[in-house]
Amino acid sequence: MSLPDFDLTGRRALVTGGGDGLGRQLTEALVDAGATVVICGRRPETLERTAAELADRGEVVPVRADVTEPADVETLATAAGAIDILVNNAGLAHRAPWPEVTSADWRWIMTLNVESPFWLFQRFVPGMVERGWGRVINVASIYGLVGGDASRYPGIGLDIASYFASKHALVGLTRFLAAQVAPNGVTVNALCPGMFPSPANDDALQPEVIAALQAGTPMGRLGTDRELRSALLFLAAPASSFVTGQSVAVDGGWTVW
């Protein structure tokens, strides 16, 4: 395998939720591989800080946009221009016991985690098809592949029904869309992280929870940012040209038990 198989020089990427957390890690991976990266989110100060901090490594373009709002999606499309690599990373979980989940809360998670990736696909992928090259990476979760075990979360449980449903839906959408554009040089895959530390779950990662998560992972540890970055880079690069419709679990073996 030669280095050019992972070279993204001249490519333009969009990472939703790319200003912090796992999104920033994915942004860094694409920048380091040579891509120009557009990042979007609802907090302009976070986006601008990330762009400034990565300026010496490559070009990062911050665009304030809420991807659950159709008008913002159109603004984002205009600002971003032609995109070669779309990373649908923005997503959240809503915690509540399943008998208490409201319709409004359910719809919010589905809009963010499932509908907005589809809207962005509609907006950016026709250009990829026309140019004959493109990569779409939907950031799903191992919880788009399995049902979960609440005992691995002592004291907090797994009361995130809409998250599980949305990530399973995103995996299904990935497979469907991959088949639609496969003849046109565009691949569509899902990246399914296992247990990775991030600012979004710092409060939940108490010592007893970390110990339970490690015990539930065959490798006996949590993942590192570089391990997720490497998987994303493969899916975004020319090297993965014959890989589409797949759910790539980066989970230390979590889903094999």
Number of neighbours of residue 168 by Cβ within 10 angstroms? 18
**Measured between alpha carbons, how far apart are the two ends of the chain, in Å?**
32
Q: What is the pLDDT of residues 83-134, one digit of tens each?
A: 999 999 999 999 999 999 999 999 999 999 999 999 999 999 999 999 999 9
Give the DSSP H or E segment for 47.
helix 44-53
49 and 24 Cβ atoms separated by less than 8 Å: no
Give dist(CA 229, CA 2) in Å, integer.
19
195 and 217 Cβ atoms separated by less than 8 Å: yes
Q: What is the pLDDT of residues 194-243, one digit of tens each?
A: 999 877 677 778 899 999 999 999 999 999 988 999 999 999 999 999 99
Catalytic residue among 163, 196, 234, 254: 163
DSSP 167: H
pLDDT of residue 191: 98
61 and 76 Cβ atoms separated by less than 8 Å: no
pLDDT of residue 3: 67
Q: What is the pLDDT of residues 161-196, one digit of tens each?
A: 999 999 999 999 999 999 999 999 999 999 999 999
* 163 annotated active-site: yes
pLDDT of residue 2 exceeding 50, the answer is no
Report in angstroms the alpha-carbon separations of 173 from 29, 35, 55, 170. 25, 26, 34, 5
Give dist(CA 85, CA 232) in Å, integer.
11
